[in-house]
Amino acid sequence: MKGKVEAIIGAQWGDEGKGRVVDSLGDRVDVFARYQGGANAGHTVIVEGKKHVFHLLPSGMLYSGKTCVIGNGVVLDPEQLLNELSELQGKGEDRSRLVISGSAHVVMPYHKKLDQAQEASRDQGSKIGTTGRGIGPCYVDKYNRCGIRVEDLLDPEALREKLESNLDEKNLLFTKIYDEAPLSFDEIYRQALSWGKSLEPYVDDASLVINEALNNGQTVLLEGAQGTLLDVDHGTYPMVTSSSPTSAGGCVGLGVAPQYVEKVYGVVKAYLTRVGEGPFPSEDKGDTGQYLRDKGGEYGATTGRPRKCGWLDMVALRYAVRINGMTHITLTKLDVLTGLREVKVCVAYRSNGEDRTEFNGNIRYLNGVEPVYRSFQGWDEDISSVRDFDDLPDAARAYVRYIEEETGVPVSIIGVGPERDQMIVRDL
Ligand code: GDP
Ligand code: IMO
Ligand code: MG
């Protein structure tokens, strides 16, 4: 029997809780696979009080006897990856077999420096608020067909040639445009060769590994990074990341065919957050936003920046359902809403006296819209130990049912706390 692919996708602006959902579903998975993004991601997993933050490693690394794959679509920062690995090894928690695609592009030191220099040179209104992890410049080189791939780190001659031409160009940019010091070839070359030696045991044909697993009837879980509204095509361009976090990106970023994808779980936070710049119509800049930030611990797992907080946006969520072909919703952090007298949901965008319910990612439009809210009754009961949907307070159940009705997608998992088992599982 053929195996199947299930995808865990961020439905909003990232940080929905994808890492913890991947970890919580880990028992039923054989292969965990990252398909895009890089160390801009920060996926927090809490198991028995111990906190792990994954940036490049898939969040399945804590499971014994499973395979974790970093696919061709990821941009891999070897320094970050090796640090993450040795930290996990130090804790004795590196339990999965790790496979890294030789075709994944490498984030080089000049990508990070360029990312930071470009961001610093942007005017206030056009800053993206990137994580500074070199993501954009690395994808630029990939699509410009001059990038360095993991396989190049294992080939000293190819590496020398590619690094020379890349660095010549980047150093011109640093010295002539950004008024920055040039980087040294020798230093980076030496560093890159040593990365190659450290990574070599893990490098393999990731697409083949996944497809063999599927041929053996296994279950492959795709772990999205970032979220739908940060997608380079479908998000709030240019305030986006440089990859395709949406479900279709999973096939391209791993070399797995679309017909295997049986389920697409959209991870939806029960309210909404955004980190970095860009429009956020349902942001609450007042006390409730601060309440959500404090209670939800809404500070970036990668950069530590405070996340902007606000209300669930149904206009954007219905769009994310469409773009991803979402078959299930995983609603996280419902417990964070406990204690609010009123829970609001943005149901339309008002602009020039007209209400629209279809999403449009144009930032000039989004910056000018007024959110139209529907109000729900809040609840006070502590729900963090609830494991059965019927045991939730009436008001919380009404909120969940509303989301299902509006999206037409079942809410099959509900997060009531950050621990692995703090979930209500209704139907997988
Ligand atoms: P990711 O990038 O999508 O993996 O999400 P992050 O890890 O950046 O942010 C999600 C945060 O919410 C983490 O600190 C998680 O531990 C936490 N979290 C996830 N699910 C829940 C939940 O259901 N309830 C609570 N209270 N916290 C959660
Ligand atoms: P996870 O996987 C939230 C945001 C940045 C910035 C924009 C571009 O943890 O959900 P980049 O460094 O990618 O060029 O920055 O995207 N961003 C994220 N926001 N969660 C993330 O990842 C993010 N990764 C990037 O803040 O606005
Ligand atoms: Mg995150």
Q: What is the distance of C-alpha 351 from the center of its chain?
A: 30
Provide the pLDDT confidence category of residue 372 given band limits of 50, 70 and 90. Answer: very high
Q: Does residue 233 sit in the same domain as residue 332?
A: no
What pLDDT does 1 receive? 79
127 and 249 inside one domain: no
Q: Are residues 40 and 86 in the same domain?
A: yes
Whether residues 93 and 157 fall in one domain: no
Answer whether 275 contacts ligand 2 (Cβ < 6 A): yes
Asked if residue 183 and residue 61 are part of one domain, the reply reads: no
The answer to whether the bond into 137 is cis (omega within 30° of 0) is: no
Bridge partners of 34?
Answer: 70, 223
pLDDT of residue 356: 98
SS3 51: strand
Q: Which residues are catalytic?
A: 15, 43, 142
Q: Which of 198, 216, 250 is the last residue in one of the domains?
A: 198
Domain boundary among 145, 170, 198: 198
| Ligand 1 close to Cβ of residue 307 (< 6 A) | no
| Ligand number nearest to the C-alpha of 226 | 2
Q: Is 56 exposed, middle or buried (0-12, 13-18, 19+ CB in 10 A)?
A: buried
The vertex-21 CA angle with 20 and 22, nearest 5°, equals: 90
Name, in order, each residue with C-beta under 8 angstroms of 143's C-beta and a sequence gap of 6 or more: none
Question: pLDDT at residue 337 above 90?
Answer: yes
Nearest to 410 by CA among 421, 420, 424: 424
- Which residues are annotated binding-site positions for Mg(2+)? 15, 42
Q: What is the pLDDT of residues 225-257, one digit of tens each?
A: 999 999 999 999 999 999 999 999 999 999 999
Q: Which residues pair with 287 in a beta bridge?
A: none
Pull the structure tokens for residue 305.
């920046």
Q: Could you tell me if 248 and 171 lie in one domain?
A: no
Residue 304 pLDDT: 87
Domain tally for the chain?
A: 3
Q: Can you list the positions of beta strands (E) in 308-395?
A: 308-310, 312-313, 328-332, 342-351, 354-356, 370-377
Banded model confidence at residue 363, pLDDT cuts 50, 70, 90:
very high
Q: Is the CB of 223 under 6 A from ligand 1?
A: no
Same structural domain, 47 and 10: yes
Q: What is the mean pLDDT of the chain?
A: 97
Q: Are residues 55 and 181 in the same domain?
A: no
Please state the rounded mean pLDDT for residues 268-281. Answer: 97
pLDDT digits (tens, 9 = 90+) for 400-415: 999 999 999 999 999 9
pLDDT of residue 9: 98
At residue 428 the predicted structure's pLDDT band, cuts being 50, 70 and 90, is confident
Give the CB-side neighbour count of residue 116, counting CA atoms within 13 A.
8
Q: Specify whether 146 is located in the same domain as 216.
A: no
On whether the CB atoms of residues 99 and 202 are closer than 8 A, the answer is yes
| CATH code for the domain of 144 | 1.10.300.10
Residue having the nearest C-alpha atom to atom 3 of ligand 2: 14
What's the CATH number where 277 sits? 3.90.170.10
The per-residue pLDDT for 317 is: 98
Q: Relative to the alpha carbon of 59, which ligand is closest? A: 1
Q: Which has the closest alpha carbon to 10: 22, 1, 23? A: 22
- Choosing from 217, 242, 265, the residue where a domain stops is 265
Residues 306, 410, single domain; the answer is: yes
Torsion angle (degrees, nearest 10) of CA 387, 393, 397, 400? -80
pLDDT at residue number 373: 98
What pLDDT is recorded for position 298?
Answer: 97
277 CA closest ligand 2 atom index? 27
**Per-residue confidence band for 346, with pLDDT thresholds at 50, 70 and 90:** very high
Rounded to whole angstroms, the Cα distance separating 124 from 294 reads 27
pLDDT value, residue 302: 80
Binding residues: 14-20, 40-44, 131, 145, 226, 241, 301-307, 333-335, 415-417
Tens-place pLDDT, residues 178-229: 999 999 999 999 999 999 999 999 999 999 999 999 999 999 999 999 999 9
Say yes or no: 47 and 58 in one domain. Answer: yes
Residue 118: the pLDDT is: 97
Main-chain phi, psi angles of 334, to 5 degrees: -60, -30
Mutation to probe ligand 2, out of 275, 299, 307, 333 (largest number of atoms < 8 A from CB): 275
User: Which residue's CA is the nearest one to ligand 1's atom 26?
Assistant: 417
83: domain CATH number is 3.40.440.10
User: 39 and 74 in contact (C-beta within 8 Å)?
Assistant: no
Place of tokens 């529907």: 374
Backbone angles phi, psi at 5, to 5 degrees: -110, 135
| Residue with more model confidence, 284 or 125 | 284
Residue 113 has pLDDT above 90, yes or no: yes
pLDDT attached to residue 101: 98
| Nearest to 188, CA basis, from 160, 150, 211 | 160
pLDDT band at 303 (very low <50, low <70, confident <90, very high): confident
Question: Does the beta carbon of 333 sit less than 6 angstroms from any atom of ligand 1?
Answer: yes
Question: Is residue 335 in contact with ligand 1, taking CB distance under 6 Å?
Answer: yes
Number of the ligand closest to the Cα of 382: 1
Express each pLDDT in 39-90 by its tens digit: 999 999 999 999 999 999 999 999 999 999 999 999 999 999 999 999 999 9
Ligand 1: does its nearest atom lie under 6 Å from the Cβ of 42?
yes
What share of the chain in percent tops pLDDT 70?
100
Work out the average pLDDT over 145-158: 98
Residues spanned by the domain of 179: 105-198
Which among 8, 13, 40, 141 is the best mutation to test ligand 2's pocket, defined by most ligand atoms within 8 Å of the CB? Answer: 40
Residues 215 and 191 in one domain: no
